[in-house]
Amino acid sequence: MTPEINVLYVDDEQQNLNSFKAAFRTRYRIFTALSVTAALDILDRDEIHVLISDQRMPEITGVEFFKITKERYPHIPRVLLTGYTDIEVLAEAVNQGDIYRYITKPWDDLELHNSVLNAYDHYKANKELREKIAELQKTNDGLNRFVYSLSHELRAPIASATGILDLVKMEGRMDDSGDYWKLMDACIQKLDYYVSQTVQFYKTARFKVEHERIRFEALVRSLLDLYSTSNGTRDISFNVQVNEEVPFYGDVFRIEIVIANLLSNAIKCQRPEEPDKKISIGIRTRTAGAAITVTDNGTGMDTEYVQKIFDPFFKGAQPGGLGLGLYILKEALEKLNGTVTVESEKGKGSVFEISIPNNPEK
């Protein structure tokens, strides 16, 4: 049976190569080379698992040879055999990763054998790691393509269907076919929301945090303008108080996600029977950070739900929702090193308090 480990031993003395072959020929598949040129030819041609070299050779030293092989074949562990002790050279070679281990000559067979086995285990572990990384990269590429399809290819037919429904509404024909048009409208809105939440979660988890000047007043107003076009905000009064005492710097993408999900949650939790629906947004910036508070007089929730609402796909407080909004909010806050606290009472409403550190320009 051919030994599993391929070992290349480089030495300018044939006697040393013969001794190595005699000692280990039954344990490894052995390759030998009398010169650096011959060794590089073997490395180009065969898969070598462990590389062994003598330190003193007429062309270059073993350490210098290992520097070359480290650049060309970085994943092969290198074992140096030396007949003399040059601590400075060896220490530098070890620290720079040029050699995996060094052994003094004449070598001890057991010590050298154990070193080869350890080096081979190191080679296998690195190879498995590279394969796992390649698999992860392949999976990541597939995920990128999937999210691209969600945000572009799937959004296109949703936009077309929404446009058709808008024409039906403009022509006042929503009641022509009973509730069919309304059911279709509700389904399309829900599908668009699911797609938006999925893409939002992906971007929150993947995008790099970027710091820039945040103007909360304009940000909140733009979000309220966006939500004002939806049917769910028609009977809700919004009270906005923004006090930007000092300039605030943060990741505008994730901060917008945080505020948008707070507003969306407050809107969805309104009670239909409440005659005076209210949502209050308070923001104050200081040198240390920004404090954001969103208060509503909606459905509220039992204490048992407060600790679970940030779990993915938890729908206890909003049975009709996807259960991702507050989870995405928490993920975004973690990227910002922010915190969130919740106070809620069933039938009376909820208060969400957010704290986000300020990251001023250096």
Mean pLDDT of all residues in 52-65:
87
Inform me whether the pLDDT recorded for 96 exceeds 80: no
**pTM for this structure?**
0.54
Alpha helix positions (H), the chain: 14-24, 36-45, 62-72, 87-95, 109-148, 155-170, 180-206, 216-227, 252-268, 303-306, 325-336
Look over the chain and give the mean of its residue pLDDT values, rounded to a whole number: 84
pLDDT tens for each residue of 244-268: 989 999 988 889 889 988 998 898 8
Inform me whether the pLDDT recorded for 338 exceeds 90: yes
Whole-angstrom distance, CA of residue 99 vs CA of residue 316: 58
| pLDDT band for position 1 (cuts 50, 70, 90) | very low
Comparing 235 with 6, which gets the higher pLDDT? 6
DSSP class of 353: E
| pLDDT band for position 230 (cuts 50, 70, 90) | low
Inform me whether the pLDDT recorded for 359 exceeds 60: yes
> Phi, psi at residue 352, to the nearest 5°?
-105, 125
Ordered by where they begin, the domains of the chain are: 6-107 (3.40.50.2300), 209-362 (3.30.565.10)
Inform me whether the pLDDT recorded for 29 exceeds 60: yes
Compute the half-sphere exposure of residue 250: CA atoms within 13 Å on the CB side of its CA. 31
**What distances in angstroms separate CA 81 from CA 10, 92, 94, 163, 298, one per listed residue?**
10, 16, 13, 76, 76
